[in-house]
Structure 1
């Protein structure tokens, strides 16, 4: 309250400024809300408000066939299959064209769009919404768009050049009429560009009209052309394979020849894929079902071929390194070389794993799998994960065990191991199995998990040297000192017997009729030690046989007096 001078006894109340501002703000908000509500009715109802639709077209259209996205596209396909492109033009929103252009170009644009659908994107009409509001019905509740009305729907996304173009359906309402679904003006404007990319090729101008009739999913000429194209591509691949074989014969023996021999098939497949892709791009354009299948197949073949060539190059390099550094794989090579070979094999598995991941990402990106399957893939991801986990449990466990062996290195390439009673050399450690070379040159293939879960003796873990024992069973009258001298003489003469100061020959066991003499010696490796042991044994046995045959063990039989008397009696009567 402010007291004005000159007005005694009077009090004047002035409203405070913040009350005035608050009232103005509330009033403006109410006004904006009212205006916004009246302007967003169409969005809330799920359609676009327009003043008119295709006023330049002569004929009228039955709007009952355009109430839902599914009915609209089914009607469009039905009209274009009959050749009624003028009627199909009503399903295009030609708002960006003048009335005169609508009459002149409407039918042609409908025909071009039908060809784009036929060759560029196979449209599954059954997947479109059958509701007028285009609402997604998802009882599982996993689709965040479920329960919402839509006023535009994507039918296809196609690439032309370096750009991507969408073909969409929009819901439009004129005045108080029933809303209808039409191809959006933005999609109509991109039809000529897509037609240039996916339209019929010049080759089809020479095809007779009767062969252009539909027969099932394809046209008649396609049923004839596809086998011929596949046969021609197969012959081209066979020719490339033969050329690569001739080139291989001209190359000198060794790594280059081996590499060209291994990449003949991948190169042939890549050439076949490139030729097929060229035919699809510049010579002939098949229907969308065939074209999509071929493009996905070609992408997979190209990725697989490039990956196989890279893998063969790595294998050839590893083979060259193996022959140069270690020659034949065994435990007589230095530990560093065998360790390097094991590391190379582990690196090979890592490279394969990385290549598989990269190729899979490339293929998925090229075939646009996630865009095609969309939320269905995500919804079934958990089921697929369970199925893959169950089906591939053994494979995954083998792969993990393979990496574990490569990192921990309890054995290396070239190690000599005693596995389940057999002497084996470790030749290779792959993803799912280990390749062992048995002493008799047979190959033993053992799953990695089975090998890792069984005890094995690595005879090359620290050193290839082995202490060998040789046993002889002789009579009690055998001269051990004489035999010891001969053993030392024979052992020192063997090339594979080392550390002569560790040679030893002693009596280790004795019975009533014989004694066991054991000789000990250090050898360079197990197999050489076995050969040295056998050689020394033969020499000792020959020495005993030639010079001391009485050292051989003899069976002593003790006869009683009755046995002696019986023997004499028998001798007398005889």
Structure 2
């Protein structure tokens, strides 16, 4: 047996092995050359790191073909371990091909979303594309990993037989697992529905559970909302399918802001409108679209005045509302103090009334 192991391989086997190595190197170099050439062409716009990211999994795929060659086993004197070589080659191919597919999906996502700026003021389309590709990327990666794991396990005959026997005798266990996984499956389906219907998108301004914030992250099973005070609200994806919530940027980023003032009946409305116009025209927070003063209510003690204004997005609208509220109150204090709300008391002098009668 030792003599057979140390037997010198034939020239034909050596030629096959070196020929296979040479072919693998040539294919690898040709593929890298083509990718680099495409990356320099502005019509294709491949990211500069494309070659680096797919070179290793591509090399492992070619290596798996080399390991499967019978001439390599003959050259190493390991003909008796052919089954092990084939098994290693199969597993290496599955892992490396899965790795390559995941890298390609990520590169495609980068190619698409880099043409859209999520941080621009008018970023509705960018947020739509970014949300769709982020969720779809995770769904595809999840499915690819599940399928690759299944194919890898099915390559083992022993595991395949064990799996068949388990499935044949685990009816009750399957029902229990099905009920246990119901919520998880529902969350995944909700994530897919969000990716398609898009009730929310990345960077959307929402009000959920009484909290104002922005959609920071969307996964298959949960959504992270960044609250204005830097807290994070984590909600299941099913929440945005089953429960009502406010989305301030569903169709457009611009929004109307309101400021309510409670004044006396002596308030000069036209002067207040002129002052609102002057305030808005003096700040960059106003987008120049909407500005108005309206009397929305009147009670026995005060008049409710609503100042209406528009801004490019909700954070800007908040700052604009704060500014307008402060400026209008200051304007009334300095110019029309009698317009500030106050209570009136009327005193009647009964003695004077009797003297007047006499």
Give the TM-score band, short-chain normalised: 0.5 to 0.7
Residue of 268, 278, 286 corresponding to 1:479: 268
Q: State the 1:299 CA deviation.
A: 8.2
Cα–Cα, structure 1 residues 380 and 544, in superposed 2: closer, same or farther, change >3 Å? same
Do 2:153 and 2:160's aligned partners in 1 also have CA atoms closer than 8 Å?
no
Summarize deviations over 1:328-370 as a string: whole Å, max 9, x none: 4x8x443322221122123213312430232123212222245
CA distance in 2, matches of 1:257, 1:542: 57
Query: 2:245 aligned with 1:456, yes or no?
Result: yes
Counterpart of 2:208 in structure 1 is: 419
CA distance in 2, matches of 1:465, 1:310: 39
Query: 2:318 aligned with 1:530, yes or no?
Result: yes
Residue of 496, 517, 520 corresponding to 2:305: 517
CA distance in 1, matches of 2:142, 2:230: 31
Counterpart of 1:325 in structure 2 is: 116
Summarize deviations over 1:454-489 as a string: whole Å, max 9, x none: 211121222223222211112232222211111122
Q: TM-score, normalised by structure 2?
A: 0.66
CA distance in 2, matches of 1:259, 1:418: 43
Residue of 293, 296, 301 corresponding to 1:505: 293
Do 1:503 and 1:521's aligned partners in 2 also have CA atoms closer than 8 Å?
yes
CA distance in 2, matches of 1:315, 1:397: 26
CA distance in 1, matches of 2:110, 2:179: 36
- Structure 2: which 5+ runs fail to align? 7-46, 68-72, 351-358
Q: State the 1:418 CA deviation.
A: 1.7
Cα–Cα, structure 1 residues 322 and 414, in superposed 2: closer, same or farther, change >3 Å? farther
Residue of 257, 269, 275 corresponding to 1:468: 257
Counterpart of 2:148 in structure 1 is: 359
Counterpart of 1:338 in structure 2 is: 127
Q: State the 1:554 CA deviation.
A: 2.4
Counterpart of 1:546 in structure 2 is: 334
Do 1:504 and 1:519's aligned partners in 2 also have CA atoms closer than 8 Å?
yes
Summarize deviations over 1:72-105 as a string: whole Å, max 9, x none: xxxxxxxxxxxxxxxxxxxxxxxxxxxxxxxxxx
CA distance in 1, matches of 2:105, 2:94: 17
Residue of 442, 460, 463 corresponding to 2:231: 442
Counterpart of 2:137 in structure 1 is: 348
Cα–Cα, structure 1 residues 361 and 512, in superposed 2: closer, same or farther, change >3 Å? closer
Q: 3-state SS of the aligned residue for 2:229?
A: coil
Cα–Cα, structure 1 residues 374 and 258, in superposed 2: closer, same or farther, change >3 Å? closer
Query: 2:346 aligned with 1:555, yes or no?
Result: no
Cα–Cα, structure 1 residues 366 and 555, in superposed 2: closer, same or farther, change >3 Å? same
Aligned length: 295
CA distance in 2, matches of 1:299, 1:368: 13
Q: TM-score, normalised by structure 1?
A: 0.43
Cα–Cα, structure 1 residues 457 and 305, in superposed 2: closer, same or farther, change >3 Å? farther
CA distance in 1, matches of 2:104, 2:322: 45
Summarize deviations over 1:103-135 as a string: whole Å, max 9, x none: xxxxxxxxx9xxxxxxxxxxxxxxxxxxxxxxx
Cα–Cα, structure 1 residues 369 and 438, in superposed 2: closer, same or farther, change >3 Å? farther
Q: State the 1:517 CA deviation.
A: 1.6
Q: 3-state SS of the aligned residue for 1:435?
A: strand
Moved more, 526-535 or 486-495: 486-495
